[in-house]
Amino acid sequence: MNLEYIDNLIEKMEKASLTELSYKDGDVDIKLKRDMGNNVQAAPIQVPQQQTPEQPKTSAPLEEGKVIKAPMVGTFYKAASPEADAYVKVGDKVDNTSVVCILEAMKLFNEIQAEISGEITEILVEDGDMVEYDQPLFRVR
């Protein structure tokens, strides 16, 4: 699945004034939803994962605390630009509206809010990592 094809779907969705679009082809499942402000948001794109030697086959048990999870598939950025300070670091306090990172999806940069309150105890991904929908990004106590 290439990004040009997805961009074409978004353009057709906007031209037809659709608010939602679903597309399924084999293992690929795309759901696009547009809010009333005419911004297009992408729901997770589900593509089967192939196991490579670097990927663990089982996940380690989660430690105690709350977790901030990725609301979409995208590339994780800890700061607004390479020169800027990270939005949060271990030890920082966050509340429901605190921006904790940016996820880039289809050339759109989405600020991600904590949506929980507490102290960041662990950052679970590296800057520039590709993250999956619902993947834990931060641990909060």
Report the CATH architecture of 66-140.
Beta Barrel (2.40)
pLDDT value for 20: 75
pTM over 0.75: no
Q: Where are the domains of the chain?
A: 3-42, 66-140
CA gap 118, 114 in Å, rounded:
9
Digits of tens for pLDDT over the chain (141 positions)? Answer: 567 777 777 777 777 777 777 777 777 777 777 665 545 555 555 555 555 555 554 444 445 789 999 999 999 999 999 899 999 999 999 999 999 999 999 889 999 999 999 999 999 999 999 999 999 999 999
Handedness of CA 10, 12, 14, 18 (dihedral sign): negative
Cα 39 to chain centroid distance, Å, stands at: 16
- Taking a C-beta distance cutoff of 8 angstroms, is the pair 100, 80 a contact? no
Could you report the per-residue pLDDT of 45-80, keeping only the tens digit for each? Answer: 555 555 555 555 444 444 578 999 999 999 999 999
- Taking a C-beta distance cutoff of 8 angstroms, is the pair 136, 124 a contact? yes
Cα 46 to chain centroid distance, Å, stands at: 13
pLDDT value for 112: 94
CA gap 3, 140 in Å, rounded:
34
pLDDT value for 127: 94
pLDDT value for 61: 47
